């Protein structure tokens, strides 16, 4: 919802704290998640995640949530889906070039980031979205990424992408994931 | 324009020591000279003669000519095609790539193709929304954004790899550019956005039209505070406005154009509006030269290309 999305950006500091706590909890739960199996968890968690984040952020379930790096303003609501800042077409008053009735997602993002503890993260260069991960749970992905030792053998494509975006990889690892994806998620299924 | 060798029939040449490309534009900027670039009006035809005709008023008086990539989301001859034609005549080009129309597979391939044709400068753009053009029903792609495109091209050039990690046997030598629009919202964050582009790998910047000097000066102050003027060459964008009516139309219909009311009022009050537009352009060029951190200018004289030589002469920018 647009209104709630604006509200969430206004309270970006509180949202950030909530998100930090959520992430810490998810990382703690990693051993349990592994026991249950990330595959089995994927669907129910994704359903909950979609509901909560759609309500609050107009989430599009890109699967690579970077809200903490974008002032709690979801960049997938940008009609151009820009992940790294506004385009040059922002209208007077900070409205969107493509949807003139909507506030520019990135004007909001910078505003939100200015109130966040880790707001400087907005300066990190983020990689393009991996479209194979659309619809999957970014929460579980963040949990895996943060919890797992990254000394796993990963394929060269992902290593290379992560190397090309080192700061993003550090600050928002789910945006340039390296850890093994569970067997039959979108990613695992599509890759051989 | 000084011509440098780029012959598609010869092996791909390595850039000179300390340069990232064999680009004339890079050479001019690194030498500390005030650079002049301009953009050509792309033809709606297949005739190479039309490309040369469009380039003719610009080639002798500028350091490089930008080939726009369906700007304003209007279809014309492709930028890669224009660059290929002009490069054969040894005219230095800036190959504009917009993220609107192609995905990452096409774009990385095009970068190699363009480099093979002798392109040495690229300008990475987000692109105007499809709704701005004459075919608003088109599918907007935006697989990359301008910043991830910059980083991808830098990775191709410096690491010799596609984003997939697959090796490029002969990587492209390119001078990587990006755009910035210092006079539109979010004004307070435009310099930070520029910083992100530099961080991603941008080496030169061509700005949108700057018709608002106070805004631009504020932007440049921030740019200098961030130390960006030491790391990137900034070319300020400007052009001759045809009339008050044209200026108003542009402001209302072309995305990202900011023309303050006082400029429009000045045009309106003039006996010869076209001439006034030219004078305004000259004045801005002279002011840009005095701003620390501005390394050159980018002249966008849509359908007024014939005025560019005279404008540069009046502004004292003819030494090429």
Contact A156 B165 (CB under 8 A): yes
Contact B126 A93 (CB under 8 A): no
Mutate to test the interface with B, among A60, A128, A178 (most CBs of B within 10 A): A128
Q: CA-CA distance, A162 to B73, in Å (whole number)?
A: 32
C-alpha distance from A32 to closest chain B C-alpha (Å)? 33
Residues in chain A closer than 8 A to B158 (CB atoms)? none
CB pairs under 8 A between A and B: 135
Q: Which two structure tokens, joined as six digits, stand for A150?
A: 């990254």
Which pLDDT score is estimated for A191?
37
pLDDT-wise least confident of A168-177, B196-205, B257-266:
A168-177
Residue B172 and residue B6 in contact, taking contact as beta carbons nearer than 8 Å: no
Q: CA-CA distance, A138 to A42, in Å (whole number)?
A: 10
Grouping H, G, I as helix, E, B as strand and the rest as coil, residue A16 is: helix
HEC profile of B269-320? HCCCHHHHHHHHHHHHHHHHHHCCCEEEEEECCCCCHHHHHHHHHHCCCCCC
Q: Considering only the beta carbons, identify the residue of B159, B181, B196 that sits closest to A88.
A: B181
Regions in chain A scoring below 50 on pLDDT: 149-151, 153, 184-192
pLDDT classification of B16: cutoffs 50, 70, 90:
very high
In this model, does residue B12 exceed pLDDT 80?
Answer: yes
Number of Cβ within 10 Å of residue A102's Cβ equals 16
Q: What is the mean pLDDT of residues B38-63?
A: 97
In this model, does residue B101 exceed pLDDT 50?
Answer: yes
Which pLDDT score is estimated for B3?
42
Q: What is the mean pLDDT of residues B185-214?
A: 97
Residues in chain A closer than 8 A to B154 (CB atoms)? 164
Q: CA-CA distance, B64 to B36, in Å (whole number)?
A: 7
Report yes or no: A132 at the B interface, CB cutoff 8 Å: no
C-alpha distance from A114 to closest chain B C-alpha (Å)? 10
Which pLDDT score is estimated for B227?
97
Report yes or no: A123 at the B interface, CB cutoff 8 Å: yes
Distances from the Cα of A146 to the Cα of A16, A112, A127, B208, angstroms: 17, 24, 18, 41
Contact B179 A159 (CB under 8 A): no
Grouping H, G, I as helix, E, B as strand and the rest as coil, residue A49 is: helix
Q: What is the mean pLDDT of residues B234-259?
A: 96
pLDDT-wise least confident of A37-41, B107-111, B203-207:
A37-41
Q: Which domains does chain B have, with CATH numbers?
A: 24-314 (3.20.20.220)
Mutate to test the interface with A, among B103, B108, B129 (most CBs of A within 10 A): B129
Report yes or no: A11 at the B interface, CB cutoff 8 Å: no
Contact B255 A127 (CB under 8 A): no
Q: Which residues fall within 8 angstroms of residue A182, CB to CB, at 6 or more apart? A: A37, A38, A39, A42, A188
Q: Considering only the beta carbons, identify the residue of B146, B200, B255 that sits closest to A89.
A: B255
Contact B196 A125 (CB under 8 A): yes
pLDDT-wise least confident of A53-57, A188-192, B245-249, B300-304:
A188-192
Residue-range domain boundaries for chain A: 2-186
Contact B132 A159 (CB under 8 A): no
- What angle in degrees, to the nearest 10, is found between the helix axes of B261-269 and B244-253? 150
Averaged confidence pLDDT in chain B: 95
In this model, does residue B263 exceed pLDDT 80?
Answer: yes
Which pLDDT score is estimated for B5?
46
pLDDT classification of B7: cutoffs 50, 70, 90:
low
C-alpha distance from B88 to closest chain A C-alpha (Å)? 32
């Amino acid at each position: 919802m647009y209104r709630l999305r604006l509200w969430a950006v206004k309270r970006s500091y509180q949202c950030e704290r909530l998100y930090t706590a959520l992430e810490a909890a998810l990382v703690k739960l990693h051993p349990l998640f592994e026991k249950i199996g990330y595959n089995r968890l994927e669907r129910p968690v994704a359903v909950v995640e979609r509901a909560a984040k759609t309500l609050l952020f107009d989430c599009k379930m890109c699967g690579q949530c970077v809200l903490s790096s974008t002032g709690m303003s979801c960049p997938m609501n940008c009609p151009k889906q820009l992940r790294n800042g506004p385009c040059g077409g922002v209208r007077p008053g900070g409205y969107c070039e493509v949807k003139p009735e909507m506030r520019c997602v990135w004007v909001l993002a910078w505003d939100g980031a200015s109130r966040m503890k880790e707001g400087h993260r907005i300066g990190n260069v983020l990689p393009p979205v991996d479209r194979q991960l659309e619809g999957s749970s970014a929460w579980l992905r963040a949990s895996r990424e943060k919890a797992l030792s990254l000394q796993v053998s990963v394929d060269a494509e992902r290593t290379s992408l992560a190397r090309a975006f080192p700061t993003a990889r550090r600050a928002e690892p789910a945006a340039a994931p390296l850890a093994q994806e569970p067997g039959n998620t979108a990613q695992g299924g599509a890759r051989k | 324009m000084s011509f440098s060798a780029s012959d598609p029939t010869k092996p791909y040449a390595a850039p000179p020591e300390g340069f990232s490309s064999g680009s004339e534009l890079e050479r001019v900027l690194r030498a500390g000279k005030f650079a002049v670039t301009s953009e050509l009006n792309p033809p709606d035809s297949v005739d190479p003669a039309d490309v040369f005709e469009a380039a003719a008023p610009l080639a002798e008086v500028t350091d490089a000519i930008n080939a726009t990539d369906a700007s304003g989301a209007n279809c014309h001859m492709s930028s890669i095609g224009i660059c290929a034609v002009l490069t054969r005549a040894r005219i230095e080009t800036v190959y504009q790539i917009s993220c609107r129309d192609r995905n990452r597979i096409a774009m990385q391939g095009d970068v190699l193709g363009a480099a093979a044709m002798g392109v040495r400068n690229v300008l990475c753009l987000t692109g105007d929304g499809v709704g701005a053009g004459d075919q608003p029903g088109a599918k907007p792609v935006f697989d990359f954004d301008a910043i991830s495109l910059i980083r991808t091209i830098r990775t191709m050039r410096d690491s010799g790899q596609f984003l997939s990690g697959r090796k490029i046997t002969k990587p492209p030598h390119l001078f990587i550019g990006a755009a910035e629009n210092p006079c539109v919202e979010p004004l307070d964050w435009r310099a930070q956005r520029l910083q992100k582009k530099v961080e991603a790998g941008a080496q030169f910047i061509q700005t949108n039209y700057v018709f608002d000097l106070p805004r631009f000066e504020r932007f440049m102050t921030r740019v200098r505070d961030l130390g960006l003027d030491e790391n990137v060459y900034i070319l300020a964008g400007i052009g001759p406005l045809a009339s008050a009516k044209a200026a108003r139309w542009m402001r209302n219909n072309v995305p990202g154009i900011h023309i303050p009311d006082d400029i429009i009022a000045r045009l309106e009050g003039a006996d010869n509006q076209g001439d006034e537009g030219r004078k305004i352009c000259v004045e801005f060029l002279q002011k840009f030269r005095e701003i620390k951190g501005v390394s050159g200018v980018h002249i966008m004289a849509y359908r007024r290309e014939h005025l560019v030589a005279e404008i540069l002469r009046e502004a004292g920018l003819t030494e090429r």
